[in-house]
Structure 1
Amino acid sequence: MATLIQMPKLGLTMVEGTITNWLKKEGDYVEKGEALFEVSTDKISNEVNSTVGGVLRKIFVQEGQVCEVKKNVAIIGEENEDISNYLGEDIEDNEENTKNEAVVEKSTAVVSTGDIKASPLAKKIARDNGLDLSIITGTGPKGRIVERDVLAHMEASTKKVKASPMAVKTAEELQVDLTEIHKDTRIMKADVYNFVKEQSTIAFGKQEEKRVAMNQMRKVIANRMHQSWTTAPAVTYNLKADVTNLKELKEQLSNEQKVTYTDLLVKIVARALIEFPYLNSSIENDEIILRNYANVGVAVALEEGLVVPVVKLADSKGLKEISTEVKELAEKARSNELTEDDYTGGTFTITNLGMFGMESFTPIINPPEVGILGINNIIDTPMVIDGKVVIKPMMNLSLTADHRVVDGAVGAQFLARVKEYIEKPGKLLL
């Protein structure tokens, strides 16, 4: 019996996902529990396993398309099973709206007349408009005629442009209006390329704009940052700390296992959060949730956006354990292997821009947390100590806190305690 495969809900806040890669193609046999496709959400990319075994009969949502949770993405069934009942008007409407051009290889959804193969929607459009499919070149899988081929043919015909199907296809891909190509004979693909080349030469030096659609991760980041900016009355505190002793501790610990400043700051911040619980809290309705544990998120920059994997119970872990976990989480983030548990449950976030030479910035709070600490570059700075000028490695700390919960004095005291631990890091080993 055929089974409809749906977009799974991979996290509590997930409402939609983007299919980035189908690991099987139509006609392939799929084992139950075998990876079927990859989904990109606002945080990570996950492989989705098939809940049943059988032949992948039809794909409704193509790579790069967004699909809401619980919506159908594919059908799995027996090889020769009649799945026409699953191909109702709602499926056809979905194909028309999203230009889903996948066609089932071995099902009644494939329309074939002699050597002509076309999708149901392509056939319907051709029939309604009195078109002969034999004169249309298909650009779908294995040369199959799909919706875009019929529409492109109709558009070219309406404009009374004589063009080969491949010229029509190429013009569509390059966003070229065929009516602008003046040719007495039939326009071929090479003519479209030559036109683009000529226009590029003419347009050289002109001002141009390019629009790039937001990916799913960037959309969610934009929404969450807007939520943070409009909800939390944020205050940013800046304070410099002498990292002389912290640098020495880092070098000593790195003799056995490489430790970074981020690792050390995760431990420092976790210790300070336990002492200042309001920095470690969150707001729910009219209540403040206070915690006796610290889950510290560490922002990791990716090409497509930002993720924040979380070191759980960082206050109760040793430096080496934290260092190992931070490295593992960062690697999982860069290889899209984070699980939901890896990036949820954070109570406070650290974001480090020191490696980019930043001296100060205003980090934005990651909801529902109420605080975030920005780490800046370490700069050798002349200081006057006991009447003498000495050079000290100084790091600027940038704390942003939600003023609904964190009063100015509390925020200042917390940052002063972080500074104290940085300048006297031996306390961390007690």
Structure 2
Amino acid sequence: MAQEITIPRLGWSMEEGIFVKWLKAPGEFIRTGEMVFLLEGEKAAHEIESLDSGYLSVPDDAPRPGATVKVGQVIGFLLAEGEAPPASVGKPPASTSPASSFPAFARATSLSLPAVAPPSVKMPLAPAVLAATGTMPRAAGPAARRLARQLGIDLNAVFTPDPTDRVLCEDIQRAAKTQWHSDQPAGPAQIATPRARRRARELGVDWTQLPGTGRNGRIRERDVISQSMATAGSQTHSPEPAPVTLGKHTPASKLRRILAQRILAGVTQAAPVTLTTKVDAAPLVAYRANLKNLAPQGQAPSFNDILIGLAAQTLRALPELNACWHRDGIHAYEAIHIATAVDTPAGLLAPVIRHADQLSVAQIAEQTRQLIAQARAGRLNQTYLEGGTFTVTNLGMFGIDTFTPILNLPQAGILGIGRIVEEPVVRAGRLEIGHTLSLSLTFDHRVVDGAPAARWLQRLCEHIQTPENQPGS
């Protein structure tokens, strides 16, 4: 009899995943323990291991690469030699709860998520099952239990997508709503992904009232973010709090209003995270001193010029931050155009140095001098303010060490530069007087995760300690 190949559950909360590809060709013999297909869960892609052996059969209606598949869904078969292949994989199963049993076909090999246990291993009963049998109370906080008593809801009958099976207040509210409308035709259960629930709590969004864009109306993180953005947009038209005492009101200039909108967008339309670090800046100080000795009077590159060049070289080596979030995906820029923040009488401007990774430090210094002069004189053309893919902003001249730069959309990263400080440092186990530089990197977590962003900042620090290696030095 043909052995079904089904989608395993990669974690307690998983209900569906993305079928990436087959790792074996149809008709190929698969041995027990071999990896047979690639499945993408919420965190990573996993190679799925076969628990049986046989010849791979993939019917015409099997999921194609990139298709969304449900836990327990049949996607192929393993056949004995000479066995006739089934003509169809059949219909996908209905949505299952996280506490349901694991599929028996395969297990996942992964470092980031728990592996699916083979059927020979006895799994402990899920908390929901234990609660239903009366052997243990259902996990819920005091507020949730009080709300359940007030609404007459049985905790053991409440479904929650929480991986720990803990019942929250919104689970009880959803159960009460379903109970109140039980006389209406039943529709699909409203389910939100764990990431959507976490983001809803962070943004103060009631996800139970949202229409889901996922399979069978499942609520995704992007549905929560869209609702939060829409709410923020509507609140901008609501009456603002009045000043609490007398004062002078000055209408904002057009530039200030545009700047305010862009700054607000960098916080509300992105997922900003800031990393800070301190680096030994002695090589950087020595490098600039050497450039000052070689350059004509007043034309030596500034620390900011050098750091723009080093940031561009880092973006070329690690381009993840040279991107933006666009249409529910990541748009990677082909060129590296660095915007540099400039304080002007009219307000903050960010002229762009194009193809900064292809310029020498002297060329960058020449361009920044011209751009800064034109910006402060109010003669900067709009074309020089557009097209930036990454931003560098420097507050070190004001005695600032670290700060939280705000993203300049549509960009995924902005580097904040603090002051260079002469202070004690430890080198080779000895205490010496040296120079340190503080850096602040804000990145869009929708585009880049924390580890790649940290690696980018680490690579920049390495460049700062060997500045003479950049082009044109």
* TM-score relative to the length of structure 1: 0.51
Equivalent position of 2:11 in the other structure: none
Checking the alignment, whether the CA contact within 8 Å between 1:238 and 1:397 is kept in structure 2 is: yes
Equivalent position of 2:452 in the other structure: 410
Equivalent position of 1:226 in the other structure: 264
Q: Could you tell which deviates more after superposition, 279-288 or 372-381?
A: 279-288
Code of the residue aligned with 1:386 in structure 2: it is: A
Q: CA deviation at 1:286?
A: 2.1
Code of the residue aligned with 1:230 in structure 2: it is: T
2:435 to 393, 398, 402: 393
Q: CA deviation at 1:406?
A: 1.0
Q: CA deviation at 1:359?
A: 0.9
1:212 equivalenced with 2:250 (yes/no): yes
Higher RCO, 1 vs 2 (CA within 8 Å, ≥6 residues apart): 1
* Bigger helix fraction: 1
The aligned runs of 1:44-123 (5 Å cut-off) are none
Checking the alignment, whether the CA contact within 8 Å between 2:281 and 2:437 is kept in structure 1 is: yes
Q: Determine the C-alpha separation between the residues in 1 that align with 2:300 and 2:319.
A: 30
The aligned runs of 1:7-406 (5 Å cut-off) are 208-254=246-292, 255-256=294-295, 257-406=299-448
**Paired residues, what number?**
224
Instruction: Give secondary structure in 2 for the equivalent of 1:416.
Output: helix
Q: Determine the C-alpha separation between the residues in 1 that align with 2:346 and 2:381.
A: 18
Code of the residue aligned with 2:394 in structure 1: it is: N
Q: CA deviation at 1:388?
A: 1.6
Code of the residue aligned with 1:213 in structure 2: it is: P
Code of the residue aligned with 1:258 in structure 2: it is: A
Unmatched segments (≥5 aa) in structure 1: 1-206
Q: CA deviation at 1:303?
A: 2.3
Q: CA deviation at 1:244?
A: 1.0
Q: Determine the C-alpha separation between the residues in 1 that align with 2:373 and 2:462.
A: 31
Q: Determine the C-alpha separation between the residues in 1 that align with 2:310 and 2:388.
A: 16
Shift >4 Å, 4+ stretches: none
Q: CA deviation at 1:308?
A: 0.3
Checking the alignment, whether the CA contact within 8 Å between 1:359 and 1:396 is kept in structure 2 is: yes
Give the alignment's Cα RMSD to 1 decimal. Answer: 1.3
The one-character-per-residue Cα deviations of 1:53-72 (angstroms, maximum 9, x if unpaired) are xxxxxxxxxxxxxxxxxxxx
Q: CA deviation at 1:304?
A: 2.6
Checking the alignment, whether the CA contact within 8 Å between 1:277 and 1:292 is kept in structure 2 is: no
Q: Determine the C-alpha separation between the residues in 2 that align with 1:386 and 1:271.
A: 28
Q: Determine the C-alpha separation between the residues in 2 that align with 1:384 and 1:248.
A: 18
Checking the alignment, whether the CA contact within 8 Å between 1:274 and 1:293 is kept in structure 2 is: no
Q: Determine the C-alpha separation between the residues in 2 that align with 1:208 and 1:283.
A: 43
Q: CA deviation at 1:247?
A: 1.3
Q: Determine the C-alpha separation between the residues in 2 that align with 1:387 and 1:252.
A: 28
Equivalent position of 1:131 in the other structure: none
Instruction: Give secondary structure in 2 for the equivalent of 1:366.
Output: coil
Q: Determine the C-alpha separation between the residues in 1 that align with 2:358 and 2:334.
A: 11
Instruction: Give secondary structure in 2 for the equivalent of 1:359.
Output: coil
The one-character-per-residue Cα deviations of 1:108-163 (angstroms, maximum 9, x if unpaired) are xxxxxxxxxxxxxxxxxxxxxxxxxxxxxxxxxxxxxxxxxxxxxxxxxxxxxxxx
* TM-score relative to the length of structure 2: 0.46
Checking the alignment, whether the CA contact within 8 Å between 1:274 and 1:292 is kept in structure 2 is: no
2:464 to 398, 419, 422: 422
Q: Determine the C-alpha separation between the residues in 1 that align with 2:428 and 2:384.
A: 48
Instruction: Give secondary structure in 2 for the equivalent of 1:294.
Output: coil
Q: Percent identity?
A: 36
Checking the alignment, whether the CA contact within 8 Å between 2:345 and 2:376 is kept in structure 1 is: no
